[in-house]
Amino acid sequence: MGIERPPSVDRLARSLTSSGLPHAICVEVAREAIESQRVDDAQLMARQRSRQMLRPVINATGTLLHTNLGRAPLGIESSARYANVELDLATGERGSRQRTIAGTVALAAGAEDALVVNNCASALMLVLAALAPGRGAAVSRGELVEIGGAFRVPDVMRQSGAQLIEVGTTNRTRRKDFEAAIDVADVALVLSVHQSNYKITGFSEQTPVSELATLGVPVVADIGSGLLDAACPWLDGPPPPWLADEPAARQTLEAGADLVIFSGDKLLGGPQAGIIAGRRDLVEACGRHPLARALRPGGLVLEALQQTMLKYIARDGASIPFWRMASEPVETLRTRAEGIVASIGSGEMPTVVTVDTDAVPGGGTLPGRTIPSCGVAISANIMDHLRNGDIPIVARMQDGRTICDLRTVDPADDELLGGRIGEALGQPR
């Protein structure tokens, strides 16, 4: 009996083309399968490799801004054409990639001027580097927050070259604490950071921006989530109750902040970006700093952000996917859930039923706030099956049941979702 020889890498790679992966990656997978003596698993390994690629995902978790799923859903159109990223079409001369977008962002936020960078973390970095190099930036001890693992305010400040001046106490910081700091230290600016993902309750007090604005040094407010206007004029009704006291760009500037900074992909519902908006001279100082070049976004982001901002200016929240999903009436979601349950047909085990749920804004915003929602509950764990399709569906488990919350699902995907649930329960497609 001869020892079976492993197949050639090339032949095995060729047998993997149905995975849709380019040949060079099939070769890598084939080589790995042969080296680890898992030739029989090569197809599976190729499928796994293909699944690790970035792809559209259906979010049935009920978390609107899901950090693992890229935060805000983006429904933008893009073409294969070039864009006038740095061309002034009026003169044919080289233009500024920031100028047009700045006007649109500034108008939407009620600011004098604006600058766009890659995310809110880089916005904070740039503001500190440009406005407080080697000087002090005063922050309340109650606002030295960590947001999403790697973003810690004290660390960003250290990297920026600004000197952190801690003011007040963890639970209470008053205007006079800032005043005292300004008396003894070289304070270039006061930084107010929204606590975003946690709350201090009980005997606590933070100094409002309106009081910080009377200290005589520039006030920079990191409001984080990018709510543009507390009145939500882009919605048909009043602001939803789950927004409660979330700080908004327009009102923070009106209260006297010299600059606000915020994310593009949280409550703004746009692409990943960081926005610096406010006083023109300060925005311009940020734009002149060498870091601005390193942190500048590409044309794809600018185009997506512009589309989002124009929808705000047109007061058309229904065409911003985040706001459309967040403000869908729960009755509509229930009707959709009933349709999905009916399409599957239930009765035997496991059961499929309509369920009332709590959706959440997510993305490190609005801790503890929920949005009434509705979905489909399956009395079994079918999470793996849902996740392992061409268009993966991410749901969540609760009390041993798989919950598919419809608030974060595009209605156009209901049929696919119903089909995949039926499939998981052994029904023919």
Interface residues toward ligand PLP, by CB under 6 A: 119-121, 147, 151, 193-194, 196, 222, 224-225, 263, 274, 364
Query: 305 or 404: whose CB is closer to ligand PLP?
Result: 305
Rounded to whole angstroms, the Cα distance separating 174 from 277 reads 25
Residues 6+ apart with CB under 8 A from 90: none
Q: Which residue is nearest to ligand PLP (CB)?
A: 224
Query: 121 or 393: whose CB is closer to ligand PLP?
Result: 121
For the chain, the first-to-last Cα distance in angstroms comes to 46
Query: 62 or 362: whose CB is closer to ligand PLP?
Result: 362
Q: φ and ψ at 16, to 5 degrees? A: -100, 5
Rounded to whole angstroms, the Cα distance separating 106 from 278 reads 8
Rounded to whole angstroms, the Cα distance separating 219 from 215 reads 9
Query: 13 or 127: whose CB is closer to ligand PLP?
Result: 127
> Rounded to the nearest whole angstrom, what is the least distance from the CB of residue 124 to ligand PLP in the complex?
6
Residue 383 one-letter amino acid? M
Cα 232 to Cα 74, 248, 264, distances in angstroms: 19, 10, 16
Report the interhelical angle of 280-288 vs 120-131 (nearest 10°).
90
How many Cβ atoms sit within 10 Å of the Cβ of residue 109? 25
Query: 108 or 147: whose CB is closer to ligand PLP?
Result: 147
Rounded to whole angstroms, the Cα distance separating 122 from 166 reads 21
> Rounded to the nearest whole angstrom, what is the least distance from the CB of residue 331 to ligand PLP in the complex?
32
Query: 191 or 409: whose CB is closer to ligand PLP?
Result: 191
Residues in a beta bridge with 276: 115, 261
Rounded to whole angstroms, the Cα distance separating 241 from 408 reads 18
Structure tokens at 307: 């589309």
> Rounded to the nearest whole angstrom, what is the least distance from the CB of residue 344 to ligand PLP in the complex?
38
Structure tokens at 340: 């999905």
Query: 113 or 222: whose CB is closer to ligand PLP?
Result: 222
> Rounded to the nearest whole angstrom, what is the least distance from the CB of residue 299 to ligand PLP in the complex?
19
> Rounded to the nearest whole angstrom, what is the least distance from the CB of residue 253 to ligand PLP in the complex?
16
> Rounded to the nearest whole angstrom, what is the least distance from the CB of residue 161 to ligand PLP in the complex?
18
> Rounded to the nearest whole angstrom, what is the least distance from the CB of residue 263 to ligand PLP in the complex?
3
> Rounded to the nearest whole angstrom, what is the least distance from the CB of residue 197 to ligand PLP in the complex?
7
Residues 6+ apart with CB under 8 A from 242: 361, 366, 369, 370, 371
Query: 16 or 189: whose CB is closer to ligand PLP?
Result: 189
Query: 168 or 224: whose CB is closer to ligand PLP?
Result: 224
Structure tokens at 219: 């006030």
> Rounded to the nearest whole angstrom, what is the least distance from the CB of residue 271 to ligand PLP in the complex?
11
- Nearest-5° Cα angle at 226, 221 to 231: 100
Query: 225 or 308: whose CB is closer to ligand PLP?
Result: 225
> Rounded to the nearest whole angstrom, what is the least distance from the CB of residue 364 to ligand PLP in the complex?
5
Residue in 56, 58, 65, 59 with CA at minimum distance from that of residue 269? 65
Q: Are 126 and 286 contacting, i.e. CB atoms less than 8 angstroms apart?
A: yes
